[in-house]
Each structure stands twice: as structure tokens, then as C-alpha cells.
Homo-oligomer: A and B are copies of this chain.
Amino acid sequence: MINNKQVGYLGPEGTFSNEAALKVTDSKDTLVAFDNIISIFESLADHEIDEAVVPIENSTEGSVLVTLDALMHYNLKIRGEFLLPIRHYLLVQKGVTIDDITLICSHPQAIAQCRNYIHQVNKRVHATSSTADAARYVCELATAGVIGNKMLSRKYDLEVLDGEIQDYDNNVTRFALISHEDDFQITSNDKTSIILSLHGDKPGGLYEVLSIFARESINLTKIESRPSKKGMGKYLFFIDMEGHRNEPKISHALNDVKNQTDFFKVLGSYHQITVGGN
């Protein structure tokens, strides 16, 4: 572990990623805000920062596609993961009521996670590059509200008009701590993540891959497909499993799986980081 680490996150201050980054760093670390996820990966690949916290998937909206694509393209590793409960609030300038606003601003993922609420209050939607950008916009515009976390109300001096407005109560985002190395140490609750594409891009070939994991009694926690961008029907599979890549059964299975694939990459072995509540 490096002391006084520089840790990148999707800024600006006040975003859910900021909240997440605060939870897995200590006061000696320096948090560095980036304005998009690709820049975080670039900066980490260039050793300008030591680690980064990036959102991987949300329980309502699914994977953060930019993160999956970047994990595919950059030679970086997942060295930890943790879950952050997501509670959305509608924030407005002081004294503004729901009838005063005609527009709701937020990041597209936040908008998607509150689709029923937005439909119900019947407002127009404006997508911004972060929830904090939306808050800054709302500071200038009394006829707009922002959907985001509660931190934004303190930081931008906005008022909470409505709370817990996410469509599904158990809304959770899974964040990854990424770095140049994954976690070498085998513990009792490790996970390993891989990406692969199948020979001939045949989705049916996934059966052969899954039979290898079944043979070794390896428990898979996620199977996700993404277009490989090489044309319709050609997919990459993101697979997470329980166990460390240095355990013999995982290591054997991964070797056999590799033979079934055109492309194969281990994203890392890591364990779940325990984070405190709000």
C-alpha cells in the first residue's frame, strides 16, 4: 500500500462517486476529481494517480457501460469492490415549490433511476455530465430542480423538495477500486473478474465455458454480455466468480476457459471492502 495516495474519482465534488471515494480512502489520501470516466483510466494508466474509484453497475439500471468498455481497453486491475446504497433527492433553490419548476436536471443514470418519479411529477428532463453539474445549473435557474444525493444540498445551498425518489428502494451501486495491480493475497471471500469473447462469436459457445466452471464447482456471481462493436451478434462476456485466481481450482478453470476463447483477460482478484454507513 502506498501512503498518501492520489485517488481519482468522477467529480466534481458532491457526486455519488465522491461519496464513494470518501468511504474507501483516509484523510492522508488526496482525492482528484475528473470530469469523465475515460480520463480517470487514462490518468491512472499514465501513473499520474495511484488508484481510482469507478462505478461498475447499479442494481436498477445495470452496468455503467463506459466503465466496462474502459476495463476492456486499459491494462488496469480491479483491486477491491464495495456497494454504496443510492438515495436520490430532488433539490431546488430556497423557497421554490414543485409547481415552480418545469425542468429536472441530472446525470442520465440518476434520471434513469428515477424514471417513474419524473413521469409522475411530469417535468421536462435535461441530461448533464454529473449530478454536481446539474446542481450548479439549478443554482442559476429557479425553474429547475436537480436529482442527486443529499451532499449536494449543503455544498450548493439548495433545499430538499423531495427525498428517496428512486424507483426501487434497494437501489445500490457497485464501485470498483482500480489500480495497476490487483490483490495478490488470497482471503476467504475473494472474487475474480474476467472478460472473454468466444470462438466464432457464437453465444451458444458460452455453454462450453460455463460447463468448465460447473465442473470445478465455481460459483459465478455475474454474467453480462456487451457488444464487441465488431458487428451485430458479436459479444464480449464479463464474468465474475467467487475465489482468487491463484487458488488451484480457479487457476485450472481459467486456463481451460482461455482455450475456448478468441479473447481472454483477467480483470483482477479482489475482495469486498467494508465501508461505513452514512
Contacts and interface: CB of A to CB of B under 8 A. Distances in A.
Interface of A: 57-62, 65, 83, 108, 112, 125-127, 129, 167-168, 170, 172, 174, 202-204, 206-207, 210-211, 213-214, 218-227, 229-235
Nearest to A226: B62
27 contacts: A57-B227, A59-B227, A59-B231, A59-B234, A60-B229, A61-B65, A62-B65, A62-B227, A83-B232, A108-B108, A108-B127, A168-B229, A168-B230, A170-B230, A174-B232, A203-B221, A203-B222, A203-B223, A204-B219, A206-B220, A207-B207, A207-B214, A210-B210, A222-B233, A223-B223, A223-B225, A223-B235
Contacts of A83: 232
A230 B58 CA distance: 11
A229 B65 CA distance: 17
Given A62-B65, A127-B127, A170 B231 contact: yes
A39 to B, nearest CB: 10
Closest 4 CB pairs of A and B: A127-B127, A207-B210, A204-B220, A59-B232
A57 B206 CA distance: 20
A170 B211 CA distance: 32
A231 B62 CA distance: 10
A147 to B, nearest CB: 15
A152 to B, nearest CB: 20
B227 A58 contact: yes
A83 B232 CA distance: 9
Contacts of A234: 59
A21 to B, nearest CB: 19
Contacts of A213: 204, 207
A233 B211 contact: no
A4 to B, nearest CB: 32
Contacts of A210: 204, 206-207, 210
Nearest to A125: B129
Contacts of A219: 202, 204
Contacts of A172: 231-232
Nearest to A113: B229
A220 B62 CA distance: 23
Contacts of A204: 210, 213-214, 218-220
Contacts of A61: 65, 227
Contacts of A231: 59, 170, 172
